[in-house]
Structure 1
């Protein structure tokens, strides 16, 4: 019997491998979008030419890097060291290949001295400019620290920019080159043109196939209580990284990205945003988003999910406003109420809804919520799309059966597993029926595999080696193709926004469709599957 079971598992694995190299090549086009990542020193999607924008804020670094009674200016630069030092993790545990090895230019204003550590070494130094050499360590990761060890209080060291080597040919901003010899007279080196060349060409090239970019992560709205326009992230800030509730890229950056990609933008409005913030946000997008591009507008993210403070906020306000005595119902009703208010503000800014996609976010595992959201206050009349996040994974009831990656793939096809591909698609069908009943589109704000055990703390803990192995194995491509074809058939070719841009695989999940921005496609089965539909 054990032999039969082993043979069966191996057969499933082999069949999936065969499918991924044959029928998946025939996948039809589908509107595919991509979720951005949080701006952090560990973000292996590396969106920006100026790496310092993803550095850990000085005041969040541990005592090995920052110590003493440091005084900071409004943008987070150390204004007075007071005999201490201010340091940061510039890059942290990024796989080799994420970035080019070589000489990086460091520019700064003011007077002082910077020290570099781990995988960075100083090559040369002139006032306001250092050249450092960055090479991946023997562990095949990039780790770079940067420390301001001296700074004049009268003209303190600030505005640090750490710039990629090389540049672009102006005629092709999607391709990084090493020197002018690779261009036809239009070379633009990053050290000189970094103010106009904001985005890493490798990031642009990765994002290029995706026609809608969702900014929930990059905007930093998760567990973020910002409520006024003045609290929004600023271009002048030392870094756009930091802990939850602090990090986030400015709106100007997000709009510039989609304009350059010629992609629609999906904006998530902070849960505590006041009306002026919403109005200023909408006005800026109307004035600066290319006129043929659409703006998806969604109030917060997963207001139904108790893991997030936004869910606690909507529940509290819903109860205070006596929208319902049941906490979950009160939360859902306030979410709808505030969403409709936000939609109206955006419609006023845009003089109508033609360029807008007004989104209500629901819970993929609970179709009844979709009914509540669309019906309350006739929300469907002012809503264009119902969005869910269909994820497939191994339910904890079957997790004990996992011994290897073949078991993972077997269980993802096993109807006993409540979150097998077939069972997840059944729930997608229920949401689609509800959306059709109310005359709105069903779209996916996130989706894909969700292989994670939240109780683990290390990639070595069971079942993480098996889950990470499955994400790297070729059969995952076939499962994604099957899943997307099912989505396509049920929804009539509706938008599917994958989760997420490249990020390393950790105990808290293997979310990236690549593990790092320059990972070869041959090593990224999820990315290959998406490209079959996006191209």
Structure 2
């Protein structure tokens, strides 16, 4: 049996403590305090305690008055001193425990408080941990604690206590020979006498440490480690940050995730944030649209392998190819099929939109990887480790050997040309160079020389080398989102897929009747969601909408926590109750306690372009109670059943979240309305008990202008647009503009919402109309509000909406292309910033609350110019919309109706 160091040895039972043996520096001469008969001075007393119980064997002395006193506490722990003494000191042997002014002596007088007053205790681990050592050595059931004749008698016990910042630290795993365990609340571990000991925190190896190196601390173990993992080199600071500042017994039982997020946490964030912003899908459907890089590992936004690989390849559950069959040698390369497992990243990306330079490639498994396009010079360093230079204009040859000077059209191409089927290549990480200085995750630096002596350099590659699922955000990505109070993750998590018929790969193609309905109403289970193990997030139009699922929930939570921003999550239209419950549980467990989870069911269910629209309408018809109700006034049955089912399912989801969170103060329950139709908000809030479980109605205040005076109906007949055909009230439509100035003129059209005749009101899509239509929405939410439960108006999206109606057969293609040029130019014009300011001011003055802008940096394209910036690398001065919203926010100094104090 392993021989363990005895924790109970070497304590003395108050032997040999005489007047001269008390040490302590006092001048008394007896083992108990002596009182001259004729002194005339009153004798004061207190009880010395440790761990709440009396202490025997402590030497005490009082001095500074007419008579000094020295003594040794007995089992009752009594300490005596004369009333004119100035100081009382307490010792263990010759070592000072601490002093206290006589007029500040408390009853009891605790060893803990004496140690806190003794700066020298910090340099002596045995003395500093005296209460813990006594508790560990003598137990918690004794009636009093006995001090030995000297401090050294406790050193063997002290050597088996692991500390952090001088305090015992619990939750650290240890192994010594055949002995293993976890440090106790008192930081105690057990060591086999003839073995060294090693420690682990969240799986990170510390040590081993030999007996002559004990006692030890997290600080010493970290400093002695030869690892370059920044989690280890920064471990003392990380554990300190994760514990309460006044923790007497810090804990180390954190997950690797907790340590990683603490390592990457900013030391400060912008003040007075009031606005929100939507995040975009990791991968746009169209190849030419450039989205922000989310993480330092750019492979996360590579196209799914299945989109460009050999058709015969089989994949595992996470999307990694398991082998390359022989049949792939005959792949139809003329039609775009590869002979290998193939994917690409950064297609059409400009150099300013991502960090050019050396990237480190890691992967698990065995095989061969080749690079082409924007990165043709990959170098294999060892199995599982490459480097590759990535530049937008690399002169790299294509498959035929021909050099293309502009390879951003191709992007960075990755081909897995050989796979060991017994250990397939997986978990590929392509990591940008450099890292950050601890405390500033918003700026990428290339080397540790860029960091000050007080801030550690955290290298991206070191983090990914040790954990392929670490969540390290791209600094440019963080730098943009840090300025916003609320982050809406609808698009980034692909929570609102387009309707089946509008997909290139229609999941319900060829189905009809009950088969089509079954496809339409298929449910979404918890196991269907993407995870950190999923190979790639999202996909292009070549991937079925059923498999294009965006980034994992965990990434959204990590981003919210790191930026201290409130997350806004959209629950998929077909999510099961089990999915909703697990979603709520994950949010409740992982989201920082100071953050509010904004929860919305689906997205724009009034919009027939989304799957959720058709889903909730069919569910409404299938609901016998809802389908039996009368239609809303002036509305058809489709609208009525859809609206009621949406309200019903929203309430069900809100109630699940309420049950999980318990405290509704950490929830914002949101239902989606429609900007031009305030009656919808009334319909939703008036359904059953919806008003009691809803905190906000959210709309999308967009401005643009009438597109055309006429339109074509489903029968091919041309008809006049009811709001835009009148040339007196609508001077010009967008389809008629011939200059950039006229684009702004149309957006600046007049609108009089007091006129009942729609043809006489003016342009319903102008900036003025958009602002005037806010007030009716506020009136509805106010009508359902109470002092105990106010209901607010939010904007889930908003801003400009200049888009070309490509389906309008009344406008020529050439005309549409010229309009696209005008619209993109307008979004780069300073006047657009002025229009954004008008919208923000109008929103605030109407009494509406949280405004979430649409959208994140995104390249302007034929479908719209919605990005506040065109890519992450663009400056504020180059981006008038971005500059305008930040200028508006900064001028408020945090004063906003939702969360400002009175008088703001």
The match for 1:59 is 306
Higher mean displacement: 66-75 or 459-468: 459-468
Question: Is the contact made by 1:45 and 1:502 (CA closer than 8 Å) also made in structure 2?
Answer: yes
Structure 1: unaligned runs, 5 residues or longer: 1-27
Matches within 5 A, 1:241-390: 241-242=538-539, 243=543, 244-245=545-546, 246-322=548-624, 323-324=626-627, 326-390=637-701
Matches within 5 A, 1:115-514: 115-126=370-381, 127-137=383-393, 141=408, 143-184=411-452, 186-194=456-464, 195=467, 196-223=470-497, 227-242=524-539, 243=543, 244-245=545-546, 246-322=548-624, 323-324=626-627, 326-397=637-708, 398-415=733-750, 416-439=762-785, 440-455=791-806, 461-492=817-848, 494-514=849-869
Which structure has more relative contact order (CA 8 Å, sep 6+)? It is 1
Q: Provide the C-alpha distance between the structure 2 equivalents of 1:368 and 1:302, rounded to a whole number of angstroms.
A: 15
**Residue-pair matches, total:** 503
Deviation at 1:171, TM superposition (A): 2.1
Cα distance change, pair 524–156 in 1 and its aligned pair in 2 (3 A):
same
Q: Provide the C-alpha distance between the structure 2 equivalents of 1:162 and 1:460, rounded to a whole number of angstroms.
A: 40
Deviation at 1:166, TM superposition (A): 0.9
Higher mean displacement: 111-120 or 47-56: 111-120
Cα distance change, pair 486–97 in 1 and its aligned pair in 2 (3 A):
same
Deviation at 1:72, TM superposition (A): 0.6
Deviation at 1:113, TM superposition (A): 1.3
Question: Is the contact made by 2:363 and 2:429 (CA closer than 8 Å) also made in structure 1?
Answer: yes
Cα distance change, pair 235–97 in 1 and its aligned pair in 2 (3 A):
same
Question: Helix, strand or coil for the counterpart of 1:121?
Answer: coil
Structure with bigger helix share is 1
Q: Provide the C-alpha distance between the structure 2 equivalents of 1:529 and 1:470, rounded to a whole number of angstroms.
A: 14
Q: Provide the C-alpha distance between the structure 2 equivalents of 1:454 and 1:132, rounded to a whole number of angstroms.
A: 42
Higher mean displacement: 395-404 or 503-512: 395-404
Deviation at 1:218, TM superposition (A): 1.2
Cα distance change, pair 458–254 in 1 and its aligned pair in 2 (3 A):
farther
Q: Provide the C-alpha distance between the structure 1 equivalents of 2:360 and 2:822, rounded to a whole number of angstroms.
A: 41
Deviation at 1:47, TM superposition (A): 1.1
Cα distance change, pair 459–481 in 1 and its aligned pair in 2 (3 A):
farther
Question: Is the contact made by 2:276 and 2:485 (CA closer than 8 Å) also made in structure 1?
Answer: yes
The match for 1:106 is 361
Deviation at 1:95, TM superposition (A): 2.4
Deviation at 1:459, TM superposition (A): 11
The match for 1:97 is 352
Cα distance change, pair 380–237 in 1 and its aligned pair in 2 (3 A):
same
Higher mean displacement: 184-193 or 450-459: 450-459
The match for 1:39 is 282
Q: Provide the C-alpha distance between the structure 2 equivalents of 1:313 and 1:226, rounded to a whole number of angstroms.
A: 10
Cα distance change, pair 462–329 in 1 and its aligned pair in 2 (3 A):
farther
Question: Is the contact made by 1:31 and 1:533 (CA closer than 8 Å) also made in structure 2?
Answer: no
Deviation at 1:365, TM superposition (A): 1.9
Deviation at 1:532, TM superposition (A): 1.4
The match for 1:530 is 885
Backbone CA RMSD of aligned residues: 1.9
Question: Is the contact made by 1:209 and 1:534 (CA closer than 8 Å) also made in structure 2?
Answer: no
Question: Helix, strand or coil for the counterpart of 2:773?
Answer: helix
- Is 1:519 the equivalent of 2:874? yes
Deviation at 1:320, TM superposition (A): 0.8
Tell me which stretches of 4 or more aligned residues in structure 1 moved more than 4 Å. Answer: 138-142, 456-460
Question: Is the contact made by 1:32 and 1:533 (CA closer than 8 Å) also made in structure 2?
Answer: no
TM-score (norm 1): 0.90
Higher mean displacement: 287-296 or 370-379: 370-379
Deviation at 1:101, TM superposition (A): 1.2
Q: Provide the C-alpha distance between the structure 2 equivalents of 1:97 and 1:277, rounded to a whole number of angstroms.
A: 40
Q: Provide the C-alpha distance between the structure 2 equivalents of 1:454 and 1:155, rounded to a whole number of angstroms.
A: 51
Question: Is the contact made by 1:96 and 1:140 (CA closer than 8 Å) also made in structure 2?
Answer: no
Question: Is the contact made by 1:48 and 1:199 (CA closer than 8 Å) also made in structure 2?
Answer: yes
Q: Provide the C-alpha distance between the structure 2 equivalents of 1:383 and 1:264, rounded to a whole number of angstroms.
A: 17
Higher mean displacement: 386-395 or 136-145: 136-145
Cα distance change, pair 69–479 in 1 and its aligned pair in 2 (3 A):
same
Deviation at 1:403, TM superposition (A): 1.3
Which of 66, 73, 77 does residue 320 from structure 2 map onto?
A: 77
Deviation at 1:124, TM superposition (A): 1.9
TM-score (norm 2): 0.54
Question: Helix, strand or coil for the counterpart of 1:452?
Answer: coil
Post-superposition Cα deviations, 1:419-476, rounded to whole Å, max 9, x if no partner, equal 1011111111111111111111001000000000131799981310000010011111
Cα distance change, pair 531–147 in 1 and its aligned pair in 2 (3 A):
same
Q: Provide the C-alpha distance between the structure 1 equivalents of 2:861 and 2:766, rounded to a whole number of angstroms.
A: 22
Question: Is the contact made by 1:240 and 1:248 (CA closer than 8 Å) also made in structure 2?
Answer: yes
